[in-house]
Structure 1
Amino acid sequence: MKNPIADDGTSPKIPILVPFTFYDKTYHSVYVNNNGVVSFSVPVPEYTPKAIPMVDGKAFVAPYWADANIILGGHVYYRQTQKPELLRNVTRDINNYFPEISFTATWLFIATWDRVAYFGSLSSKVNTFQAILCTDGHVSFMMLNYADIQWTTGAASQGNPRTGLGGIPAQAGFNSGDDKNYYNIPSSRTPQVINITKTSNVDVPGRWVFQVDNFKPAGDPKELTPKKEEPEVLQKEEDLPEQETGHHTHEDNQEVPEEQSHVDSDEEESDHCE
């Protein structure tokens, strides 16, 4: 499935086939938010990332919470699957990262932000990253993949429109909705988050993996020298069927740079709305 082409948009409420346990609470639905968040039960459309923990009761994973605008470029995809090949792949990886746990994935949810631009962009910079939820019906894991990160901040979060840097940079981490259960990936909401493709807790540059039913990271965070090949992204644009998308427009228009290669000629640009 593909999210509508909209600034600060979210997916519809997505009922999930297998209940997912996150911080000892069981959830039956998720939302995929354009601004880099997968949330449980309620959407999180806010564009400027807030410091974690947030004590408003919202539970979510933020692979890269920042002010994206897919009207200017990119797509947000999601799917839940029980495809044997993908289940085998993630089972192999989880057993490698958590050797003390005997785990066989029976369900996956994959959300991919593919070459997404930032709000107010006057450049061709884009980000590609992914969140994967998996479970065997009891034990739950999340894997975050960062394939290419070129910007940290949208213009409405005090970022530079020409560089996508400065202001309030992206937040990466987990929030349970209280002030006790949360996790911030090192460098979150700092300029260094641009280097998240070089960091890991599983010795694979650009990959972070966590057990999330009662929350345990796989290992110690490290900054690594990236290998020639980036971590494999399970869901790529060419693997997905195209479908019609809606347009989200506002009264005022926002300048779109000529070099922005992912803007369709018939799409309308928009000002920011929360």
Structure 2
Amino acid sequence: MRKDICGKAPPRPGLDSPGFPGSWASVSARISSQTSTMGVRDLDWFFWTTFLGFAVSVQCVTRAEFFPFGESAGDQVLEPGSDQTHRLGLDRPLLFYDGTFDSIYINTNGFVATSEPSGESSYLGNMPPKFGIIAALQGDLDTSDGVGRVFYRQDSSPDVLRQAADHINRAFPEDDEVSPTHAAVVTWVGVATQEAPSRGDGIDTRRNTFQLVLASLETASYAVVLYARDGVQFTSTPVGDRPMVMHSGFSKGLVRGFLFSSQGPYYRTSTDDEASVQALAEETNSGLRGVWVYEIGTSPYFSNVAPGEVTDLPTEEEHGASNQRRPFDGQQVEYPPYGSEGEQIQIHSVQYQPHQPDNPEVVVVDDTDINVDVFFVQPRNVCEQQEEVFPVRRLSGLQRRLLLPL
């Protein structure tokens, strides 16, 4: 099982494990091996150097680094219970996939919807749903005990917009800097499972805390999702008589055609493996552990959800330096096949690959008014002849290169 390198409790997984690279056991062993050759002063220096090096290497976002939340920040509180929903009208529209939305629906179960969601029995254990969804960490959650709460608000204050811009610009270092003009902040604090299974492992005392910020400007919208170091204490919730792994990701929802309806694109940021949910607090695509940034809508053209591109985790000394862009790795976008509204939806995974097709042709375009998203599309004999899509960054400047497969 994955060890939580961010040091969440209870218990302290990893820190007391002899196999963990930065565990107290390994620190003690290294100190013992140096005792015979070091003086007391050298030994003291070695201990503190090792300890500080370990502390720096596991830097994670904390709740104090969340966007301000709570009643003191002007938040409203979602009604206690399970599967509670509140419609929030937006002062500025949200761009999601190729749609524009003047309101969002905030739900207890760890997500925001773009239309009024159906009852939880229709989507728990049966993702993606028929409605558009932005899932920070979706599961069967409950706040009726008075401990867990869901806070939400709109915010256009300079401090919040600056904080959103910092996360977005750090995640997309090669893009032009953006300055959001509006944000919606939703924070799930201390939420528990609706019915904790009696497995004797104390899951009923574990609580999750995470935050979703939807930041928009005139031509684009972004989702910033934050998971604190102790914010993911359980990774599955009971559905019926079995536990189901929690979901995070984006789905356009049901797309209605002239004759048939089909499920739109479903972009997953976690998988059906519990370790992928735990990794949300331990990894990143924005350069800061536990913080994930996605471009979720653009106007006038949109192709697909674009993840942040800084998966490097700088040490404290490198925190202020520029992060090197790395290829996208490990997340999934899923395209269910077309079918009638009443048919069972089957989902086929299509995995992004951090490489490009062979022998691309480069076409140089001098027109500075062109602003397009470019994709490689190469047929592969996988997932019942689904197509594999390779993202290419949006191009800008006096000359734009359109890369097309031969």
TM-score after normalising by structure 2: 0.49
8 A Cα contact 2:171 2:310, kept in partner: no
Aligned partners of 2:149 and 2:190 also within 8 Å: yes
Distance (whole Å) between structure 1 residues aligned to residue 114 and residue 191 of structure 2: 22
CA contact (8 A) 1:158 1:168 kept: no
Whole-angstrom distance in 1 between the partners of 2:112 and 2:183: 14
Aligned to 2:223: 142
Residue 230 of structure 1 corresponds to none
The one-character-per-residue Cα deviations of 1:55-87 (angstroms, maximum 9, x if unpaired) are x2x111101001111113300010001011111
Distance 2:151 2:266 in 1: 26
Aligned twin of 2:287: 203
In structure 1, what is the equivalent of residue 308 of structure 2? Answer: 218
Query: Could you say which residue in structure 1 is the equivalent of 2:208?
Result: 127
Distance 1:111 1:197, change over 3 A: same
* Residue of structure 2 aligned with 1:6, choices 81, 87, 96: 81
Number of equivalences: 215
**Quick check: 1:23–1:212 contact (8 Å CA) kept in 2?**
yes
Candidates 163, 169, 175, aligned match of 2:245: 169
Task: Work out the CA distance in 2 between the residues paired with 1:183 and 1:153.
Answer: 19
Greater helix proportion: 2
Indicate which of 1, 9, 17 corresponds to 2:91. Answer: 17
The 5 Å alignment of 1:38-187 reads 38-43=112-117, 45-46=119-120, 49-50=124-125, 52-54=127-129, 56=130, 58-72=131-145, 73-99=147-173, 100-121=175-196, 123-147=204-228, 148-158=231-241, 167-178=243-254, 179-186=263-270
The 2-side partners of 1:109 and 1:171 are apart by 21
Deviation of the 1:181 alpha carbon: 2.4
| Contact 2:167–2:224 under 8 Å retained in 1 | no
Looking at structure 2, the residues matched to 156 and 51 of structure 1 have their Cα atoms a distance apart, in angstroms, of 10
Question: Which residue of structure 2 lines up, in the alignment, with residue 243 of structure 1?
Answer: none
Structure 2: how far apart are the matches of 1:144 and 1:88?
16
Quote the offset at 1:43 in angstroms. 2.5
Counterpart-to-counterpart distance in 1, 2:292 and 2:219: 21
Q: Is the 8 A contact 1:153 1:169 kept in 2?
A: yes
Contact conserved, 2:94 with 2:216, CA < 8 A, in 1? yes
Give the match's secondary structure for 1:19.
Answer: strand
**Contact 1:205–1:226 (8 Å) recurs in 2:** no
Query: Which residue of structure 1 lines up, in the alignment, with residue 273 of structure 2?
Result: 190
In structure 1, the gaps of 5 or more residues are: 160-166, 228-274
Aligned-residue sequence identity (percent) comes to: 27
For normalisation by structure 1, the TM-score amounts to 0.71
Q: Go from structure 1 to structure 2 and tell me whether the alpha carbon gap of 1:14 and 1:53 turns closer, same or farther (over 3 Å shift).
A: same
- After superposition, the Cα gap between the structure-2 partners of 1:95 and 1:181, relative to the gap in structure 1 and judged at 3 Å, is same
Which of the two has higher C-alpha Rg?
Answer: 2
User: Higher mean Cα deviation, 1-10 or 91-100?
Assistant: 91-100
Q: How far has the Cα of 1:41 moved from its partner? A: 2.2
Give the counterpart letter for 1:219 in structure 2.
E
| Deviation at residue 220 of structure 1 after TM alignment | 6.9
